[in-house]
A and B are shown apart, each in its own frame.
Chain A
Amino acid sequence: MATTQSTPVRAGASAVPYGHVIVSEKWRGTELAQLLQGKVNLMFEDGLGLVDFHLPQRACILYISETDLVSGNEFKRRLVRFRKASNLRGIVLAERTRLSDQYYSPVQNFVVLELGMTLLPVTNRSEAAQLIFHLIQERSREGGSNPFIGKKRCHLSEASILQTVQRIPAVGRVKALQLLHHFPSIQELSNASLRDLEAVVGRGFASNIHSFFTQT
């Protein structure tokens, strides 16, 4: 619609409450909207411009139908305009059907690799509804519950450092502990003089260790 494109992205739609979705008026009464109804709170609005759905946490969805995909480049212009006009996180849903399948791969290169947006294939509107529902759910959850973000594994530094020192040739656990007792950080150990090392592990080992750190 040429008229709505005068405002590429509606200002202020970036703050969508959790569990809600702002839906472009043009989706009112469609199968997709009906499938979402009752699961999430739909708020229909006019003048969303290029965007079809605004999700919580500054994400939004641009929907590419099978017809869009098959009929050519119009949707590409739309995505480029969106990319230029806004810093919202654009998720593109594209209807990848038997008919549009052959167009998917170049579109993926364009959307993901060139524009740096996300592209997800769906085969029909009911799949799209389920996916949109999960995207909203994900963005409505309490922080920290995303399994892929979760806390970093807590590395016990002592154990790792012992491992690292044992990577010095001919140094086993016992020698590593001896060394760390006298030179308690890797940096200190690396700067230990040959004489200091000899006092701890004997001549042969000392020169090995010293040359491991200083050899170029």
Chain B
Amino acid sequence: MTINSIYILNKAGTLIYQNDFGNTEKLSHNSYIRLGSTFHSLHAIASNLSPVSGSSSGIEVIETEAFKLQCFQTHTGIKFYVIADPNHQQLEELLHGVYELYTDYVLKNPFYEIEMQIRCDLFDYKLNRLLGVRE
């Protein structure tokens, strides 16, 4: 089971972390930022379109023929989403694991400014280990 990409967006929809795994072809940095912002908008509109009364979350899963996208939004509005094989099953647990790493190695980092780009080597290292264990 392959994980292709992981994105983290802040509550304004700005991309603060992105990483590709495996042999995915790279896009330009601006393309990743644009994709993150687009997903932020789609996430919000999807909750508006709910046919059920009461509040709805935004998009949690997108299924296509080539990949599956799973999204987890925290109570503070940070969005984690991952793009993986269509048949991958444990993406929800994986995203909670990424959230734990985010709280431990990014938020507890005194040099990290909230809402800014994540540049923490230890977070990168732990994230790669987490994904390595899952694969």
State whether these chains interact.
Answer: no
Residues on A lying within 8 angstroms of B by beta carbon are: none
Binding site for A on B (CB under 8 A): none
